[in-house]
A and B are shown apart, each in its own frame.
Chain A
Amino acid sequence: MHALLAVPFLGALVLACIPSAHMRAVRVVGVLWCCVPLAVAIGLFVQDDTGVSYTVHAPWIAWTVGGTAVHIPWHVSLDGFSMPFVMLAAIVCAVSGVAGFLLTKRWKAFYVLLLLLTTAVFGVFVARDVVLFFLFFELTLVPMFFLIGMFGKYGRERAANVFLVYNGIGSAVLFLAVVLLIVHAGSFAVVGTPTMGNSFTSDYAVIASNLAAMPHDGMHTVLFWLFFLAFAIKLPVFPLHTWMLRVHGEAHPAIVIVHSGVLLKMGAFGMLMFSFVLFPEVLRGAASALAVGAVVTIVVGAVMACAQKDVRLVFAYASLSHMGFVLLGMVAMNDNGVQGALFQLVSHGLISALLFFAVAVIETRTQTSDIASLGGLGQPMPFASAMLMIGALAALGLPGLSGFVGEWLVLVGAYDQWRTLTVIATGSVVLSAVYMLRVVLGIVFGPPPQKHRADVRTIEAFPMVFVAACIVVLGVYPSVLHDVTREATKTIVAPYEQLVDVGGGV
């Protein structure tokens, strides 16, 4: 499993050593190396698709002085909860690596940064230690900052700065929350010493069991909201989403693929793992408010998407709306809701990758992403148009494609608790058809353009077909993913349901 972390990191080192004058070598090695983690992830997935975890637990940082011991273990684990995320990350990073071919310069920097980012992203998803998680979470910030700022449109630098400031605030809040969490709930008994209470660990499992045993107090509420705020910026939740629009609008599509495909998911992953699982009692009190927030995010995203003139911004608002669904599923905190949220995360990651790859292909040929100046690309570029169409249909939740399953499960999960809200959320699915079809109609149909537009090359076609196939497979046969997440979802949901049972329902 450590190969997941080691392979991309090694790749970054190797690439850094290739002189950037050898452009061809850099590109070939870069693309191929981006695919290796995917192979590793598939290998791990095939070897063990039942969701039983690979775990490594070793001492990492520890110091003992006086009566106090602090342990920060190296605890990484690949279980049913992180497996879908790791697979998604591997696929999306490979797709982004191929999309890097469409860049016009600085390939070396792109691939080195992308591979570093991949390492950090894998780290986030497998870390089962609070400090380690935070470390990897922060590590994603730096390569992403460079990637956004180095490649893209005119406003990319501003986008990178806004990205850094917003996510910096998020990280700062997270930092505070992590330290408070360790101090509040990290105490444990060191084997061999009778004293308890002045040894601290940052191991997630220990903290979780400590918190479960503790009576609920004000600190839990504080921690819940700190974690929620930190991850709500990342997810993002309305009204904390403005930075993400800039990134979607300005960065190069190859980078937006990773950003929208994986980085947003880290927000959901963290929110579930820290806010919701660790503090079920607080969630219970706050669930309805959060559900309202989620539905507001869904509706605002959908309405705004209808009003955009730029394809990228349509997709950005669509992402916002879809992340609202994820939040709704997670706060419902039942089997269907959480399964649906996880499914929606994976599915949205794939759909984003496909859509932005299509945008990348179209933009390299037309130099624009303005819907009004595009049009009629169906004739000269049938393949790219078809892929765009598949992505759009999946995003609007067409049954048979992956987008449908996630949204359906989320809505089913939420319906028991908040009927009106669920109905409103369902209404936005109609809107999603409006904005997605508007994009597709505007770009694919209409009078064909005057200039010649070449269709996709093989290297561009391959990842699109692969991702589209994944979307179809997930839509037709969702069990591929469900089987992996089923057990994990049960453990995630268990403490909350227990709470609800004891308290006699929400």
Chain B
Amino acid sequence: MTTITLRLSDLVIMAPECILLLGVVVLTLADLWMKSSRTSIGIGALVVLCGALAAAVVQLVQETDATVLFGAYEADAFSSLCKIVLLLAACGVLGIAIGTPNETHAVGEMYTLYIPALMGAMLLVSSREWMTTYVALELLTISTIVLIGMRRAAIGKEAAMKLIVLGGVSSAFLLYGISFLYGCTGTTYYEVMASRLDMGQDASLITIAFVMIVASIAVKIALVPFHAWALDVGAGAVVPVAAFLSVVSKLAAIILLWRVCVDVLFPHAADVVVDVLFVLVCVSLVVAHVLALRQVTLLRLFAVSGIAHAALLLVPLIASGTRPDVDAWTIWLYYAVAYVLMNVGAFAAISLTHTTGTQPHVHQFAGLVYRAPWTAVAIVCIVLSLAGLPVSAGFFGKLFILLDALSQREGTAGIVLAALIVVGTVISFAYYFRIVRQMFWRPEGPVPPSSVRTRWFAQTVLWGSALGSVALGCAPGWLMELLAQLIAHTVVS
């Protein structure tokens, strides 16, 4: 038994997470000792995120490809890219949070708690070992539970409670599944486990374990039929936390599923796992859109529509039926970027027009074009991207995913996926354009609107997402080429 030592050089490899850890400690102490204003803590958190972002970018540029702790943690190009996406999303969420009227018990924690949650998400990306994965997952979940529960209104407590129960159950299933695999192989490292698993000997045991793992992660992603909690929890959180749940948590869970599938599950039971995921994705694509049609509360609406996007993000994983190729990874990353842009933008829009003390409702957009015409234009760009209309990142993301699904998979499976995506897109027009209708064709409501124009942080986030979406729609090839180059050598090996 070797003693595990963590050297300084190892910490450098883990720099993005380490910066976050340091930052959260400093910020928490600063919050306690200094009578600093709320906003300055928020800006401090933003600075910490930018530091971590810089570290991740440096790692990406230097083509860091190293493992720490006997391979439990790996920093390669793909994980760096994922971290950059997560960090950018978190920056957007913080931008929304800064300047949002406080609806919670907390002051500084409202900002500092995002950081450990994000750290959990980033560890998930890099983890190559089950226990690390589990700890990272719990770090993410527990931090978000606190974030949700801090809301003053009772609905927040209820949502936190639901997440505790459901998160706990799904974690239990995950651990149960892991324990089977550990029993078969005697290891918790992905790579070693994959090489030791023997389908000839323990086929049924392994299959059960795999299905349990997939199901528990599906709960985290909120794929149908494990989706019910997502609506209530999404609606119970305050707007920035709901944004965090819908973007960062969801993406992290999807990345986890990719990682686990590619490293452990696919080499042994690709057919079973792909079949299970295929059913989940198909059902999610249909049900999520239909459910979304019935929602008028914005947070519920975006919680459901997020499920549909998540299902879309899983299509490249299962399109080939075996280990996804470089194309699939690239397309996945492209749509992940598009998803971050459109969803962060959408939540920024919700936050901007939201009147404190009410549930965000689609009526809050009424007559926005008369008050703030340019903001309305930016929101239209976001809606176009969400609905997958040109010229937007969402459009090309969908196009790439469809192309991939149809070219990879012969026969009906690809066509079924493509047809469902397309049908879902049409249904989604109906509910996304409700927002547009409110903005342009409805008079302003009786409720005095919040000041839209003076909220600079949220405005910056909104415009950043809107322009980013349009820019990616105008020149999608640029990002695709860049991503493909960056991850080519990592994924192939």
Residues of chain A whose beta carbon lies under 8 Å from any beta carbon of chain B: 60-66, 68, 70, 72, 131, 134-135, 138-139, 141-142, 145-146, 149-150, 157, 161, 164-165, 168-169, 171-173, 175-176, 179-180, 182-183, 200
If A168-B429, A172-B422 touch, does A200 touch B384 (CB 8 Å cutoff)? Answer: no
Contact A68 B327 (CB under 8 A): yes
The one of A65, A72, A176 that contacts B422, using a Cβ cutoff of 8 Å: A176
| B interface: dominant SS | helix
Interchain residue pairs with CB less than 8 A apart (12): A61-B477, A63-B480, A65-B488, A134-B390, A135-B390, A138-B395, A145-B433, A149-B437, A165-B429, A168-B425, A173-B422, A179-B399
Q: At the interface, yes or no: B406 with Cβ under 8 Å from chain A?
A: yes
Q: Are A66 and B477 in contact (CB under 8 A)?
A: no
CB distance from B454 to the nearest CB of A (A): 20
- Whether, in the assembled complex, B492 has its beta carbon less than 8 Å from a beta carbon of chain A, the answer is yes
* B interface residues, how many (CB within 8 angstroms): 39
Question: Cβ of A165: which chain B residues have Cβ within 8 Å of it?
Answer: 426, 429-430
Return chain A residues, CB-CB under 8 Å to B423: 172
Chain B 318-331, CB-CB to A under 8 Å as 1, else 0, gives 00000001110010
B350 interface hit (Cβ, 8 Å): no
CB B18 to nearest CB in A, in angstroms, measures: 32
B441 touches A149 (CB 8 A): yes
Interface status of B51 (Cβ within 8 A of chain A): no
Q: How far is the CB of A93 from chain B (nearest CB, A)?
A: 20
The answer to whether B426 touches A176 (Cβ under 8 A) is no
Q: Which of B325, B429, B475, B481 gathers most chain A CB within 10 Å?
A: B429
Given the contacts A146-B440, A157-B441, A61 and B389 also touching, CB distance less than 8 Å: no
Decide if A139 touches B391 in the complex (CB within 8 Å). Answer: yes
Q: Which residues of B contact A135 (CB under 8 A)?
A: 390-391, 395
A68-B407, A145-B433, A183-B407 given. 18 additional CB < 8 A pairs? Answer: A61-B480, A62-B481, A63-B481, A64-B484, A66-B326, A66-B327, A66-B488, A135-B390, A146-B440, A149-B440, A150-B441, A161-B433, A164-B429, A165-B430, A175-B399, A182-B403, A183-B403, A183-B406
- Chain A residues lying within 8 Å of B477, measured Cβ to Cβ, are 60-63, 72
Chain B 386-427, CB-CB to A under 8 Å as 1, else 0, gives 000111000110110011001100000001001100110110
From B425, which residue of chain A is reached at the shortest CB distance? A172
Q: Known: A61-B476, A65-B488, A70-B403. Contact between A175 and B330, CB under 8 A?
A: no
Picked from A60, A66, A172, A200, the residue with its CB within 8 Å of the CB of B407 is: A200
**A65 x B441 contact (CB < 8 A):** no
**How far apart sit A68 and B419, CA to CA, in the bound complex (Å)?**
23
Nearest 4 pairs of A and B residues by beta carbon: A61-B477, A63-B480, A65-B484, A65-B326
Across the interface, which residues of A come within 8 angstroms of B399, CB to CB? 131, 175, 179
Closest chain-B Cβ to A78's Cβ sits at a distance in Å of 21
Q: A217 vs B326: C-alpha distance in the bound complex, in angstroms?
A: 31
CB distance from B201 to the nearest CB of A (A): 34
Distance in angstroms between the alpha carbons of A135 and B389 in the assembled complex: 8
Residues of B with C-beta under 8 A to A150: 440-441
Q: Is the CB of A175 within 8 A of B440?
A: no
A60→B391 CA distance, assembly (Å): 14
- CA distance in complex: A347, B402 (Å): 39
Closest to B427 in A: A168
Q: What is the chain A residue whose CB lies nearest that of B414? A: A183
A400 shortest CB reach to chain B, Å: 43
CB <8 Å contact, A63 and B330: yes
Are A175 and B389 in contact, CB atoms less than 8 angstroms apart? no
Shortest Cβ distance from residue A443 to the other chain B in the assembled complex, whole angstroms: 31
| Residue of B whose beta carbon sits closest to that of A136 | B390
How many angstroms between the C-alpha atoms of A164 and B383 in the bound complex?
A: 14
Q: Which residues from chain A contact B480 at a C-beta distance below 8 Å?
A: 61, 63
Minimum distance in angstroms from B435 CB to a CB of chain A: 13
Chain A residues contacting B492 (CB-CB under 8 Å) are 66
Asked if A179 and B384 make an inter-chain contact with CB atoms under 8 angstroms apart, the answer reads: no
B378 CB to closest chain A CB (Å) equals: 13
In the assembled complex, the CB of B148 is this many whole angstroms from the nearest CB of chain A, namely 35
How many Å from the CB of B407 to the closest CB on chain A?
5
CA distance A146 to B440 in the complex (A): 8
Question: Which residues in B have their C-beta under 8 angstroms from that of A149?
Answer: 437, 440-441
Kindly list chain B residues whose C-beta atoms are within 8 Å of the C-beta of A64: 481, 484
Which of B327, B384, B425 has a CB less than 8 Å from the CB of A142?
A: B384
Complex: how many Å from CA A72 to CA B488?
21
CA A179 to CA B477, docked complex, whole Å: 17
CB neighbours of B406 from chain A (8 A): 179-180, 183
Residues from chain A with a CB closer than 8 A to the CB of B430 are 165
| Residues of A close to B422: CB separation below 8 A | 172-173, 175-176
A63-B330, A65-B488 in contact; A176/B418 too (CB < 8 A)?
Answer: yes
Query: How many Å lie between the Cα of A178 and that of B407 in the bound state?
Result: 13
Cα A72 to Cα B481 with chains together (Å): 13
In the complex, chain B residues whose CB is within 8 Å of the CB of A172: 422-423, 425-426
Chain B minimum-CB-distance residue to A63: B480
Chain A CB within 10 Å, residue with most, of B406, B423, B475, B484: B406
Chain B nearest CB, measured from A70 CB (Å): 7
Measured CA separation A161–B433 after assembly (Å): 9
